[in-house]
């Protein structure tokens, strides 16, 4: 019987396919970068056709190299909140995809807040009124892009996994984790909410059906033979599953384009009084497990900006050596609000700043300050989680940035707790494989699938309390200056 899982991992800056064995061993991978479009300040768009073409090419390449008949199922994980608009009759996109980082709906969010809607939205969705989430993106697009109105009943709207599933199978569905990030789903019922649809002016006819994260979601013949799709989850939920955050209190942090920290909360819906988000961790057999989440908008994208836009570095890998070349940050702080500030501040119109510069400051101090900003932002979130009664006992980390040992140790030092890193850092893809394994019957449940996680490495705190407090005090002043 086939026991390999093909994963489609569609991220913000690239899309790829990976092949896993049943024990979690990565067997093959294919990846292509995605074009980032910035048509104006605060605007971020992708080309849905490019996403599909490159995703299909990656999946076909990996499938073609696999042994015939060895692929049991497909799992999909994706950048969340990004919205695609297409014609369900022709299957062609009708407009650019509005990416999760996009800030164009900040005025709409501000107006809705001023009208007193945020409390009700948070109560129903677990989310806040911010351009990050899909609902205001959909509202803006339907008002400003006439081709969407002209499509009438043929208009289909969905997040990235919904777009890929449609192209692979023709079905218009979305899984519960992605649906929970739209601000259109009532998180307690797991269904689209009439009041939210009315508030944002979204027609239910255009939205996909909400389904579980594991099961039978149709088959595709586009990769050779007929392969079932059996697992789906947004990238951060998939990473939490890949990190085996299966019990209440288990916490993971993914440092990719942005950084996202989730604490598993079990079957009881958590509520936050400190500007964190309640979200669905996974849904199986109609039963939802929840998580509390903090979202940092700029993480790895800051290093990309240092490399591509301001040319301070040649490669992301050299940042570790540069950070080690100076004993401290020299009083330099970098607040990476390149697309606003996320949790717990939620300031969509804040902009990045470098402070504390002097003639003694060097390139190394600025690069180190950029890396330090990761632990500083995580510390802000740790305080918010603790205030909501969900303090962290240990932090499980993953994502591309965590290949940097200096950064992993800095997190342990600044958070004053153990940081655990798996030997295989691509836990987002691994989580999608685990879900597809459950959905296809390869595993009985997620606990059994967690054996795929593999070996671990730990970093323990080494920094003295005075140094930690000095850095956090400087960070606090830097953030206050940006927000002010």
Question: Do the domain assignments include residue 250?
Answer: no
Share of the chain above pLDDT 90, in %: 83
Q: How confident is the model at residue 478 (pLDDT cuts 50, 70, 90)?
A: very high
Distance CA 243, CA 62 (A): 24
pTM of the model: 0.87
Write down the pLDDT at residue 186: 95
Give the tokens for residue 68: 């015939």
Question: Do the domain assignments include residue 445?
Answer: no
Question: Do the domain assignments include residue 71?
Answer: yes
Distance CA 343, CA 320 (A): 26
Q: Tell me the pLDDT tens digit for each residue of 312-356.
A: 999 999 999 999 999 999 999 999 999 888 888 888 788 999 999
Is the pLDDT at 98 greater than 70? The verdict is: yes
What total of structural domains would you count in the chain?
1
Question: Do the domain assignments include residue 291?
Answer: no
CA 430 to chain centre: 15
- Residue 174: which CATH number? 3.30.420.40
Write down the pLDDT at residue 1: 63
Is the pLDDT at 424 greater than 90? The verdict is: no
Distance CA 108, CA 77 (A): 29
Question: Do the domain assignments include residue 56?
Answer: yes
Question: Do the domain assignments include residue 67?
Answer: yes
Question: Do the domain assignments include residue 409?
Answer: no
Write down the pLDDT at residue 145: 96
The more confidently predicted of residues 3 and 470 is: 470
Question: Do the domain assignments include residue 135?
Answer: yes
Residue numbers of the domain that contains 195: 4-234
């Amino acid at each position: 019987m086939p026991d390999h899982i093909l994963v489609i991992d569609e991220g913000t800056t690239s899309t790829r396919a990976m092949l896993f064995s049943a024990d979690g061993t990565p067997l093959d991978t294919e990846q292509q970068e995605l074009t980032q479009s910035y048509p104006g300040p605060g605007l971020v768009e992708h080309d849905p056709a490019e996403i599909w073409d490159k995703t299909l090419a990656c999946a076909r390449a990996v499938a073609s190299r696999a042994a015939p008949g060895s692929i049991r199922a497909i799992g999909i994980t994706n950048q969340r909140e990004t919205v695609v608009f297409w014609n369900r009759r022709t299957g062609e996109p009708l407009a650019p995809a509005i990416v999760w980082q996009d800030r164009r709906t900040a005025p709409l969010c501000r107006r809705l807040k001023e009208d007193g809607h945020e409390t009700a939205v948070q109560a129903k969705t677990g989310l806040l009124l911010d351009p990050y989430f899909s609902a205001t993106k959909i509202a803006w697009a339907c008002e400003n892009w006439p081709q969407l109105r002209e499509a009438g009943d043929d208009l289909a709207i969905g997040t990235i996994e919904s777009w890929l599933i449609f192209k692979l199978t023709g079905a218009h569905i979305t899984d519960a984790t992605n649906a929970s990030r739209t601000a259109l789903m009532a998180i307690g019922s797991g269904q689209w909410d009439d009041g939210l649809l009315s508030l944002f002016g979204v027609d239910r006819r255009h939205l996909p059906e909400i389904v579980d994260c594991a099961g039978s979601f149709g088959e595709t013949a586009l990769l050779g033979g007929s392969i079932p799709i059996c697992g789906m989850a947004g990238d951060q939920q998939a990473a939490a599953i890949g990190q085996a955050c299966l019990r209440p209190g288990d916490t993971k942090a993914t440092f990719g384009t942005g950084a996202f920290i989730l604490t598993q909360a079990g079957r009881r819906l958590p509520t936050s009084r400190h500007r964190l988000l309640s979200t669905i961790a996974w849904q199986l057999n109609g039963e939802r497990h929840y998580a509390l989440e903090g979202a940092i908008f700029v993480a790895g994208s800051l290093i990309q900006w240092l490399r591509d836009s301001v040319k301070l570095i040649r490669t992301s890998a050299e940042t570790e050596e540069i950070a080690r070349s100076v004993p401290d940050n020299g009083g330099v702080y970098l607040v990476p609000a390149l697309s606003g500030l996320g949790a717990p501040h939620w300031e969509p119109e804040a902009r990045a700043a470098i402070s504390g510069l002097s003639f003694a400051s060097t390139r190394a101090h600025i690069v180190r300050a950029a890396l330090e900003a990761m632990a500083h932002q995580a510390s802000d979130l740790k305080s918010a989680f603790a205030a909501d009664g969900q303090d962290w006992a240990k932090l499980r980390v993953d994502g591309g940035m965590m290949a940097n040992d200096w950064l992993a140790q800095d997190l342990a030092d600044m958070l004053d707790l153990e940081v655990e890193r798996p030997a295989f850092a691509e836990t987002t893809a691994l989580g999608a494989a685990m879900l597809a394994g459950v959905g296809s019957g390869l595993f009985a449940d997620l606990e059994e699938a967690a054996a795929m996680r593999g070996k671990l490495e730990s970093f323990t705190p080494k920094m003295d309390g005075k140094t930690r407090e000095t850095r956090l005090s400087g960070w606090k002043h830097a953030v206050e200056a940006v927000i002010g």
